[in-house]
Structure formats: structure tokens, C-alpha cells
Structure 1
Amino acid sequence: MTRRTRRTALASGLTALALVAALTSGGCSAERRDTLVVLGPWTGAEGIAFEAMLKRLDDGTGKTYAYRGTRSLRETLVAQLEAGDPPDVAVLNSLGELTEYARGNRLEPLDTPGHPPWAPRIDVNGSRHTYWVPLKVDLKSLVWSKKNKGSEGNKGGAGNPRWCVGLASQATSGWPGTDWIEDLVLHRSGPDVYARWASGRLSWRSAAVRGAWTAWARLLGERSKKSVDLSLTTSYEGTRDPDAERPRPRGLLNSPELDCTHEHQSAFIRYLYANAKGKGGAKEGGGVRVDPSARFLPGPAAHDGAYEVAGDMAAAFRGGPAARELVERLSGGAARRLWHEEAEPELRPFFPGAGDPRPTDPGGDEVAAILTGGAKALCFDASDAMPPALRDAFHRAVLRYFRDPSAARLDTLLGQLDTVRAETGGGTLAPDLLCAPPAPG
């Protein structure tokens, strides 16, 4: 949201094109000598909190840090690189993009040790280095449900969830569906198969991958054309009803049009369900709780301890030692403490270390416990680990399959994805870099 980390829907007053132009025409170079510029995906309340942390972090460094937030991150960064004026530091959630930038000599190597699955050491020009660090992380293998519905799973045939589906997300529409496929591959086939597929070593037409697509269709059940069209045009955040006497909050679970009880979505969505409660049940007066998705997904119980995760990583594109130092400071304890202090409770980030500050909103502490020790394996978001062209093709294929989940359509889509896999080399990282147990400390 990122792609899959949330992009707060507060208007910036600029179109994406105007924003790119504003950020590329002197947005960095005018301040180059005295200011280190960080380009990132957070706007609205998230961007305000990150910027406040950054301003507090620059005290006593002799450098000024400035934040430039955009909801068109990839387009902005590509435009700046083509203009020869990249930011000093950029924050991305795609390991595939970061690896391509590193191997294209766009990134500066760091002195920090590897931190899989968030920031592994990779081979570039015959030597191994870390090129980015995790700033914030997210847990994806979760299901949010209406009060008194959260304990009903469908493993073993129990329960009958009515699944919320909102696949629209501007240029990256489809990613909520790819999250479903990825989680199903992980829970049905385990981390080893998942990592081979995510790294391009396993065919899209293999039984493990194909089975995940058909399992998704079975879980969602029969859907009318009206329901399908609604899901394809509904934002993953849901929508408000401006004509209602008391406008309902956003969130797919709050949408009467979708008429659903369960939502498969990562932990960032908790800002829409601030009253969410963990496994103890829904908070009195609240309406939503959160549970591990393994309770609802088919697959061996041995894989229930594996979780799909995502993260926002910082890399130095230019700026020399000062930029590299900033990247390392951004992932340090002081920055995490300040960020936690500046963010609203439901927007407080998750961090990868057990000793880092944890969100205190209901459900947030439980999610943090899984990320920092409760999981057996954390596997990085498969599409974010793929080359960008393959990731984008995956997004489009999910949208087409959702409209027509026939066997013939699936055969065509998986064949096309295998073709893109061959054209792009399939993967950017080795399988053993994509899954790891939670890091100690």
C-alpha cells in the first residue's frame, strides 16, 4: 500500500503530472548543498508525521533534511533519474525495483549488515552489499471481520465468510487480488515453493500456483456481474456516502453495497478500523477484529506460521557519505522512536525489531508480536520481489481473472505470465533471500 502500504487519501492539490513536474524542476537540486532530500510515498497525515520525525532527526547533524511526499512515487523517481537530478534518498516498497536500481549502479552501497527478508545483501558487480534498509514493515496475512464473525474460519468447512473485495487503486489496481494469490500459494505450498515462484524459478502454470488461483475463485464463490463490476471499481479503502445524514466511515466492511463480513487485507488498513481487537474478540462498542489469515485459507497446518509481509525501504541515490548516513539513521532506534511519537495511534508504523516501539491501538500490538517473534517465517510480498514488468502483468491478470474465472481464461493468463517471466529473467533475487524468521532484537 505500499503499492500496498496505505497512501492517505488527502488531496495534494496537484495532479500526478503537475506533482512530477514540481518535484523534478529544481525540487532537489535547489537545496542540494545544504539539504538532503528524501522522496517517499507518504502524504496526508502519514507524510506529516514522517516529516515531523525527519525535522527532529536533523538536530545537531549540521545538515537539514527535507521530505517530498508523492502518491506517484515511481513516476516521479523515474523522471528525476532521467533528468539526472535524483533525490538523495528515496523510499520504495519494491525489492524488484530496488534490485534493478542497484544493479544499474543507481544506488550507493551501505555498510549495514543484511536484514532479510526486508534488506538482504545482494551481488552487484561481483561483490555483496546491502543497498537499502527497512524503515517500516507490514504484515499482510490477515483477515478483518465484523464483530462476532472473526472466529468463523472455513478450514475444514467451518464458517461461510462473505468476502469483501475492492480491487481499485489508481495505477496499481489489482494488488489486493495479488495479495490473495500470494497468501494462498504460501499457505497451500509453504515458504520454499513460494520463494521459488516469487524469484522466477517456478512456472506460473505449475500445480502450486495454478491451484492458488482456483482456490481464490472457490473462496469468493459465485458473483453476479453487478457484484464483479462493483469490486473492480471500488477502492480497497471503500467509499464514503456523502449523501447520508451521518456519512459512514470508509472501509469495505462498512460498505452496504458489498454486503460482506470478512476482508483479506494487510495491517495498514487498521486506520479504517481503529476499534479492531485481537484474538480476545471485538472491543466493546467496536465492530471489527483481526485474525491471521491461516484460519480461513486452505492448506496444511504446518504452514500456518508463515506470513506474507511488505516493507518500505530507504536507499541512497546520491549525496555520498551524508546520504548513506541518513539512510542508516532513518532505520535506527532514534528515528523509530520519534516516528512513533509523531504519528497518530492508528497510523503508528510497525518496525522489524522486537525492541522497537509498537503501535498501541487494539490489534496493533498483536500484529507487532507476530512480526517480531510470533511467526515461523516471514516471506516478502511476491509481486514486490518480481521485476516491475512481471509485477504489473500480475496486477492486470488478477483483474481479468476476477471478471472471468474460467479454466480457459486462467490457462491464457498463466501462459502470458510465463512469457513475461521468460522475457524479464523471472526474478531479481535468489529464493533464499525472500523468506526468513523474525530478526532477534
Structure 2
Amino acid sequence: MSAPDDGRAAAVPARRRGPARRVVRTVTAVASCLAVLAAAVIVGVRHSGREPTVTLLANWTGSDAKRFENAVLAPFEKRHHIQVDYQGSSAESQVLSADVEAGTPPDVVVLTGPGELASYIGRRRLQPVDKLIDKDAFGASWIPSFEGSVYWFPLKADLKSIVWFPGRMTPRQRADSAREPGQWCLGMGSGATSGWPGTDWIEDILLQRSGWRTYEKWARGELPWTSGPVRDAWKTWKDMVGAGGDPQLVDRALTTDYQKASGLVAKRQCSLEHQASFVRVKKAWRDADAGYQASAPLLGGKAGSDAWEVSGDLVALLHATPQAKQLIRYLASAEAQREWSHVQTGFSVNTRVGVSAYQGTQARSLAATLLDRKAVHCFDASDAMPPSVRDAFAQATIDYLARPDRLTSLLKNLDALGADRSPTWLSSVCDHGS
């Protein structure tokens, strides 16, 4: 599961200047009650005689939203004379769901979960973007096809199969520390989406130990949670982080927000963090002159593994208005993606951007791995699953960390959810390399 760069706890949405959609956002029945009024407001904005408007919903709030507006949206507005009515919300999944139910969805949305987007394809809510983007610029795992059409593309991406460590640590010290549960900096907190750091662990262990074919089969709902490889991944995570062991260690993991986990390094309470590439900008890791390495050796993976778990922010189209299609073309362009990559922690996987767009050896190395067409890139499995399964998976990691003796019942519950084939499951999760 993925998280926005500034965390999921922020609750105040960012608003664009100009004629914003003044629609009350809520995840309760109030959204339905205001549907007629909301639709009238949007129609009034779009026909008020002002510049054409396109509405955009994403998860960037606060300073991230300002950077997105200034670096990406402002140049688009100036060039095309189209105003972007932007709303940023850390609860964008709930906001989007309420908007769709109320009949007032945004024109364009940016979501971290392809599984969630697939559910909107099944409900005929998304519009194809095939003819609006350069499909050759993106690897197959980033733009999967549904019934011959592509419905989203990545605006930014992060690498997940990595472990961060203080620059002074030798390979031997890292290997030794990896066998000590207390040396892992783990924070499971993330507001309403707490637990996703645990899902990342289990996903990566399965990928590195059992290979991408097993990983993909599981992420597509075709391999039971109670199967040997999946069960073993949970047990390996338990042993590595001390689930059910030292109460103080377990309590630290359960009560620490994922954004603050790296701060434990500064306090010398841990030395390794299994976390995505965005964590490199955290103060504790900057102060520690952080390095990173592929996670496979530390997770007991296969030697020479070139399989990587990745995540991304995916752009999709709900209303194919001329203005919305113009914004889609722009966001998929190398120009827009290059500008966004310069001001935030993620990377563009548009091959037209390339490694040279990044400053510093570490950033270029991370970008090179994400762009390597010979490597196997597997999308974050929980993000690829239907939302109901994704959310249950995240909660199960919290329960398991506290009570590992409940593993069998937790996995059976997940199997029961996964047995429902009515939600849309992805047909492809991994790019097999070339």
C-alpha cells in the first residue's frame, strides 16, 4: 500500500484559486443529500463565461499541494488557458466514492491503487486514455490493458524493495542487524490506513523468497492466503520484527506513525528501515548519511534477484471533456513529469524523462532501477487488490503483530474475502522484463 509524501493524517484539503467547486465533501449520507446542489454548482462554474475549467482530485495536501500547483498546474493553465480546480485530500478514496455516488465526480483523479481504479472500470466510470498518452514511454506494469484499453498511467513512482541504513554500517553489520528484531525501525501507524507498512513487508518477503510468478498469482487472487508460500512470508515477517515477542518492541511498532519511524534511528533505537524510496528525505536519514540496498539479501531472498516491488500515483480520466483530455496529455508528458520529479520525492517512469533528470548518485541509482526494462517490476500487491481485500490485509498485519497465534484465522478470513470474484482483479501485476 502506498502513502502520500506528507502522510495520510492531514485532513484539511488544499484548494485552488479561482472558481472552485464549492461542494461539501463527506463520506456520510450528507454527500447524497447535497447531490443536486453540488451538480448545479459545477454546472454553474463550467458555464459562467470564465476560462474553461477541469476538476482534479489527488492526495497531495499542504506544501505538497503547493508544489504540485506551482510546478505542474500553473504552467498548464498559462499555456492552455484552462483553469484547474484542484482538490487535495488525504481521504481521497472516500471523497471520490462520495462524489461518484452523488453524481459529481472530478474530471481527473490521481490514486495510488490500481485495484481501486479497476473497480471503477467495472462500474463503467473511467474513460480510456490510450489515444491521449505515449504508451511506449511506460512499462507494461504501469499501464495494464483492460479489454484492449488503457485507463491510467503513472505520474510518479517509488521503489519499495529496499532497506535503508546509516552510511557508516558495513554489509556484515547490516546482515547481523537484520537478524535482530529490535534493529528494525517499524511504524505501523497511518491514520485510517494504518497497517500498510506491514503489508509492504509481507509482499516483499513473498516476492524475494518465492519469485515474481508466485507473487503475481497471489496478487491476482489466484493463490490462497493459506498456501505455503504466503503463510511462510507472514511467519518470516514475525521472526524478523519480533511479532508477539517483546511487548515494548511490539508496542513501539504499533504506536509509531510510519513517518516517524526513521526518527528512531536518531535515538539509536534501531538501524534498518524497510521502506520506499521516499524515506530518503527524512531528516534522520539525511543526518545519518543514509545508504540503501536491495532488500532481497536481508529478507532471505534468492541471490541475484532482480525483482522489485514498486508503487505509484496513477492518473485516470472520469469525464472526457476537451479540457480534461488536454490535462491528461500534459500530465503524461515528459515535460510535466520532469517538473514534478524536481520538486518531490518520487520518480518519473516515463522513459522520455530518463535518469539524467535527477541530481545526486543516490537519486539516479533509484531512478535507474525503476526505469530498467530488463528488471521485473511488480506493483504493490495490496494496492493492486480490490479495496475490501486491501483494507482487510492492512488490518490483519496489525492484528498479527500483536497476536501471531491468530495467523490461521486471519488468513482464512482473507481467503473468504478473496473468494468473491465480483470485484475487478488485475490480470497483470508484474512487468516481466525484456
Tell me the TM-score normalised to structure 2 length: 0.84
Q: Aligned residue for 1:35? A: 53
Task: Tell me: CA distance 1:159–1:174, structure 2 relative to 1, closer, same or farther (3 Å).
Answer: closer
1:179 to 200, 209, 214: 200
Residue of structure 2 in register with 1:253 after alignment: 265
Once residues 159 and 390 of structure 1 are traced to their aligned partners in structure 2, the CA distance between those partners, rounded to angstroms, is: 30
- The within-5 A match list for 1:86-165 is 86-110=105-129, 111=131, 112=133, 113=135, 115-123=139-147, 128-149=148-169, 151-152=171-172, 160-161=179-180, 162-165=183-186
CA distance in 2, matches of 1:349, 1:91: 14
Task: Report how far residue 301 of structure 1 moved.
Answer: 1.4
- Residue 315 of structure 1 deviates from its aligned partner by 0.7
Partner of 1:265: 275
The 3 A distance-change label for structure 1 pair 51 and 252 is farther
CA 1:354/1:273 → structure 2, altered by over 3 Å: closer, same or farther? farther
Give the letter for the 1:143 counterpart: V
Amino acid at match of 1:371: L
Structure 1 residue 29, shift from structure 2 partner: 5.1
Q: TM-score, normalised by structure 1?
A: 0.83
Q: Does 1:349 align with 2:346?
A: yes
Look up the match of 2:190. 169
- Structure 2 residue 244 is matched with structure 1 residue 234: no
Verify the 8 A CA contact 2:206 2:230 in the aligned structure 1: yes
Instruction: Report the residue type matching 2:145 in the other structure.
Output: R
Offset of residue 148 of structure 1: 2.1
Give the whole-Å Cα distance in 2 for the aligned partners of 1:350 and 1:152: 30
Rounded to whole Å, the distance in 1 between the matches of 2:297 and 2:281 is: 23
Residue 390 of structure 1: how far off its partner (Å): 0.5
Inter-partner Cα distance in structure 1 for 2:164 and 2:93: 29
Pair 1:226–1:327, CA change in 2 (3 A): same
29 and 305 in structure 1: CA distance in 2 versus 1, 3 angstrom threshold: farther
Quote the residue 1:387 is aligned against: 386
5+ residue gaps, structure 2: 15-22
Instruction: Measure the CA separation in 2 of the matches of 1:30 and 1:398.
Output: 46
Write the letter of the residue equivalent to 2:162: L
- Name the SS for the 2:154 alignment partner: strand
- Partner of 2:293 in structure 1? 291
Provide the secondary structure at the position in 2 that maps to 1:423.
coil
Alpha-carbon distance in structure 1 between the residues aligned to 2:184 and 2:221: 30
Match of 2:362 in 1: 363
Q: Deviations over 1:242-287 (max 9, x none)?
A: xxxxxxxx6342355xx111010001112214865xxxxxxxx744
Query: Deviations along 1:290-335, whole A, 9 cap, x unmatched?
Result: 1111131112215x21000011111111142431231122011121
Report the CA distance shift for 1:366/1:7 in structure 2 as closer, same or farther (over 3 A): same
Query: 1:77: how far off?
Result: 0.7
Which residue does the alignment assign to 2:302? 300
Relative to structure 1, the CA distance from residue 375 to residue 7 in structure 2 (aligned partners, 3 Å threshold; closer, same or farther) is farther
Question: Partner residue of 1:280?
Answer: none
8 Å Cα contact 2:58/2:88 also seen in 1: yes
Structure 1 gaps, min length 5: 240-249, 277-284
Q: Retained in 2: the 8 A contact 1:139–1:266? A: yes
Contact 1:199 1:427 (8 Å CA) reproduced: no
- Are the structure 2 counterparts of residues 66 and 261 from structure 1 closer, same or farther at C-alpha, using a change threshold of 3 Å? same
Structure 2 vs 1, CA of residues 314 and 32 (structure 1 numbering), >3 Å: closer, same or farther? farther
Paired with 2:289 and 2:408, the residues of 1 have a C-alpha distance of 40
Query: Share of identical aligned residues, percent?
Result: 35
| Residues 396-415 of structure 1 aligned to structure 2 (within 5 Å) | 396-406=395-405, 409-415=406-412
Shift, 1:163, TM fit: 0.7
Paired residue secondary structure (1:58): helix
Q: What SS is found at the alignment partner of 2:273?
A: strand
C-alpha displacement at 1:132, in angstroms? 0.9
- CA–CA separation in structure 2 for the residues paired with 1:9 and 1:204: 27
**Letter matched to residue 330 of structure 1:** L
CA distance in structure 2 between the partners assigned to 1:375 and 1:148 by the alignment? 31
Q: Deviations over 1:113-164 (max 9, x none)?
A: 47421121112xxxx2111111111111111112322624776x78645111
Distance 1:296 1:389 in 2: 31
1:108 alignment partner, SS class? coil
Alignment check: 8 A CA contact 1:144 1:263 kept: yes
Matching residue of 1:208: 229
3-state SS of paired residue (1:371): helix
Partner of 1:193 in structure 2?
214
Q: 8 Å contact 2:349–2:371 — kept in the other structure?
A: yes
The 2-side partners of 1:367 and 1:95 are apart by 22
Distance 1:230 1:325 in 2: 47
Q: In the TM superposition, what is the alpha-carbon distance from 1:427 to its structure 2 partner?
A: 6.0
* Residue 44 (1) aligns with residue 62 (2): yes
Partner of 2:247 in structure 1? Answer: 225
- Residue 64 of structure 2 aligns to which amino acid in structure 1? E
AA partner of residue 305 (structure 1): D
Could you tell me whether the CA contact under 8 Å between 1:108 and 1:324 is conserved in 2?
no
SS of match in other structure, 1:66: strand
State how far apart, in whole Å, the 1-side matches of 2:423 and 2:224 are. Answer: 9
On the 8 A contact 1:145/1:289 being kept in 2, the answer is yes
Aligned to 1:63: 82
Supply the RMSD in Å over aligned alpha carbons: 2.9
Task: Name segments (4+ residues, structure 1) moved above 6 Å.
Answer: 21-24
Q: Please tell me whether the aligned partners of residues 37 and 65 of structure 1 are also in contact (alpha carbons under 8 angstroms).
A: yes
**Distance 1:153-1:220 versus aligned 2 partners, 3 A rule:** farther
- Whichever residue aligns with residue 317 of structure 1, its letter is L
